[in-house]
Chains A and B, each alone.
Chain A
């Protein structure tokens, strides 16, 4: 069975700090996909990134970067120089090619204070 764990329930930082959101997953499949979504207070789930299990290259998009490590089953997300607009709930999610579900972690509430 697949499982996603986001151990950090809430994180609070001051603007311009760097922050890393942790995501650990469990799966028996060798082929799977990992996702990060952002949910601001307005409610919409905004897609951030999709990564397949064969691509362990780290990715950077502006202030966002993702560190995928199969050896530790982790897919961590770092925001550099955080801004107040980054305040949101961030969900890590996993889907297996053998399954038909997107499994979400419990989410991490990030608050960036001015």
Chain B
């Protein structure tokens, strides 16, 4: 089973709202990732968690706050976003710790975020 689930599928929020994106995997993977993807562009890495610890932050603005409550769950907390943050947010997981990026990353279906 190579399934990564994400909720919600779609999210519309105002610039003053606080919302969270959720990601879950039950493959026993120990690395989890958040990507941002703008239209007609490849995914851009935002954060990597390895064994529930943040190992990579790609200089993402603090209005994006990741959290890894346990090895199966990954959240992305959103606050005071800008319209340019509208994008598809993808979660992924891989078997081993970050840095061993040669492992296959399995992606979820994504959350389409619109910031008004």
Contact = CB atoms under 8 A, between A and B. Distances in A.
Interface stretch (B16-24, B73-81, B97-105): B97-105
Nearest to B33: A102
A100 B48 contact: yes
A106 to B, nearest CB: 6
Contacts of B43: 45, 104
Contacts of B90: 43, 45
Contacts of A45: 43, 90, 92, 107
Contacts of A100: 48, 56, 98-99, 101
A96 B100 CA distance: 9
Given A102-B45, A107-B42, A43 B112 contact: yes
B66 interface: no
Nearest to A32: B102
Given A100-B56, A100-B99, A105 B45 contact: no
**Majority secondary structure of chain B interface residues (helix, strand, loop or mixed):** loop
Interface residues of B, number: 24
Contacts of A99: 101
Given A100-B98, A104-B42, A105-B42, A43 B104 contact: no
A101 interface: yes
A3 interface: no
B42 A91 contact: yes
A95 interface: yes
B21 to A, nearest CB: 13
A71 interface: no
A55 interface: no
Q: Top 10 nearest A-B pairs by Cβ distance?
A: A104-B42, A45-B107, A44-B109, A43-B110, A95-B101, A33-B102, A100-B99, A50-B104, A95-B102, A100-B101
Interface of A: 32-33, 35, 37, 42-47, 50, 52, 91, 95-97, 99-102, 104-107, 109
